[in-house]
Amino acid sequence: MAAFGSKTTSEDLQIGIDGETFEVEEMYPAYRDVAKMQKEYAAEVTFRFAWEAEKTHVELFKKAKAGIDEERDPDLGPIRVCEVCGYTMEGEPPEKCPVCKAKKERFKIYAG
């Protein structure tokens, strides 16, 4: 069980990395497979979208932790989220979301 708030920022970020990694490597693939087996296609798509978003969360947490561990501000660009599928990214959005193919206008700035 993860505990937040009583550790260093680096330790908290590692907890986040570990949790997101579990979701990417085990949780969402299992959810997706069950949805597929049960022919719940809408759920399968939703879990695939969540799985793709969690992959980006792992990388963003790692980048933030690297900055903290080097005693500098994390070097993160503007963070954008696809409002259709939740795909999260840094920088300028592509013409189409790589996960759900939504147009770039569907990316909203979350932070940055």
Contact residues toward Fe ion (CB under 5 A) are 82, 84-85, 87, 97, 99-100, 102
CA distance 103 to 92: 13
| Six-digit token string for 50 | 């969540």
Shortest CB 76 distance to Fe ion, Å: 20
Report DSSP letters for 80-92, one per residue.
Answer: EEETTT--EEESS
Cβ at position 52, least distance to Fe ion in Å: 8
Name which of 72, 74, 71, 100 is nearest 16 in CA terms: 74
Beta carbon nearer to Fe ion, 7 or 96: 96
Least distance in angstroms from the C-beta of 77 to Fe ion: 18
| Cβ nearer to Fe ion, comparing 43 with 84 | 84
CB 14 within 8 A of CB 22: no
H helix count then E strand count, the chain: 3, 3
Q: Which is nearer to Fe ion, 13 or 60 (CB)?
A: 60
Using the minimum distance from each CB to Fe ion, give the nearer residue, 65 or 80: 80
Closest approach of Fe ion to the CB of residue 102, in Å: 5
